[in-house]
Structure 1
């Protein structure tokens, strides 16, 4: 009796050690055996993160800059940027001075004429800022063409006077003949087939750096 008990216990320990070894080593069990917890390792999906650069980003990596070559440049963009920021500063100062004038008028230290004059100046400064930014944001500062000549990068100013880049398909950009402008005009329009937004550039006030690349986008120049 004692020998049988010892043999049964020895067999149980051997089987337990073997099962533990199979579970740790990840070996495939027999298909007829029941699946045990811990013996199957679930496969997790692999997630791949893709990082893309914004098309309107003002800062580009050196690799991205090498993929584009300049075809047009506007040398007066620094002056236009200074005017844009100056108008923004002037409007901000005018609006900030308006509440103290109201307070002085309530206290009786400022006349009604001064209050009306300050309000009119603030409104006029806001209107001028909107008008100036409306035109300055549509002036093309530079244009770049990629190596495959399929993408046009257009740089212009935003409302705050910062550089803003647009990436356009060359096939979507209208030529000078399609826009209806004459090649002899000082200011030309940059228009697209898929959008009603219009930008402006000038071959007289600006400089065509790469003439073949420029003609690839806007057609043959006289």
Structure 2
């Protein structure tokens, strides 16, 4: 009963939030204008699931998360090597300083970007028979993770506290865990608003 009331409140809140979003999001909500592409890498047991949301730039997010790891690895391996070469007078001290600054700046930029795109949702599927949602997101390492969640376990968006990062992404929370996922409505495509509202 509480879930039903929350969904009723959500409809009004969600429409208000959509009115504040960009024009591109509103165009995406017009299902006649949306070009539907079946997402790849769907498990064979997911034929009862229907895609209700996708984030078209999820592959770019995955690449940035992987670059973050590789850049940190390269920097942590190259700086000690450069320091040894500098002590042996094979490499000038300026090269070590420049390498440290450039490597540190790139690592800091990628890690700070990673904060905003870590656990970002790429796809949301809905199974009406079992009332479960399959959420595909990108983890810290840039790998795709799929989790199946009962809809009753997802905290409705209207029940979550407002945050300063709501314009970038909306936090998706669950009752059973403190893990938080991130949903981008500015550039995400909603294929079925009714099923989307049933989930969130």
Taking structure 2 as the reference length, the TM-score comes to 0.67
Count of residues paired in the alignment: 159
Offset of 1:149 from its aligned partner? 4.7
The 1:61–1:202 alpha-carbon spacing in structure 2 relative to 1, beyond 3 Å, is: closer
The 1:197–1:123 alpha-carbon spacing in structure 2 relative to 1, beyond 3 Å, is: same
Task: Name the residue aligned to 2:135.
Answer: 154
- Structure 2 counterpart SS, 1:79: helix
Taking structure 1 as the reference length, the TM-score comes to 0.61
- Structure 1 counterpart SS, 2:149: strand
- Structure 2 counterpart SS, 1:135: helix
Root-mean-square deviation (Å)? 2.7
Unpaired runs of 5+ in structure 2?
A: 1-39
Higher Rg: 1
Q: Does 1:118 align with 2:99?
A: yes
The 1:88–1:185 alpha-carbon spacing in structure 2 relative to 1, beyond 3 Å, is: closer
Runs of 4+ in structure 1 over 4 Å off? none
Q: Does 1:201 align with 2:188?
A: no
Written as runs of structure 1 = structure 2, the 5 A alignment for 1:99-178 is 99-178=80-159
The 1:126–1:204 alpha-carbon spacing in structure 2 relative to 1, beyond 3 Å, is: closer
The 1:216–1:164 alpha-carbon spacing in structure 2 relative to 1, beyond 3 Å, is: same
Q: Does 1:179 align with 2:160?
A: yes
- Work out which structure has the larger RCO, using CA pairs closer than 8 Å and 6 or more positions apart in sequence: 2
The 1:206–1:149 alpha-carbon spacing in structure 2 relative to 1, beyond 3 Å, is: farther
Q: Distance in 1 between matches of 2:51 and 2:141?
A: 24
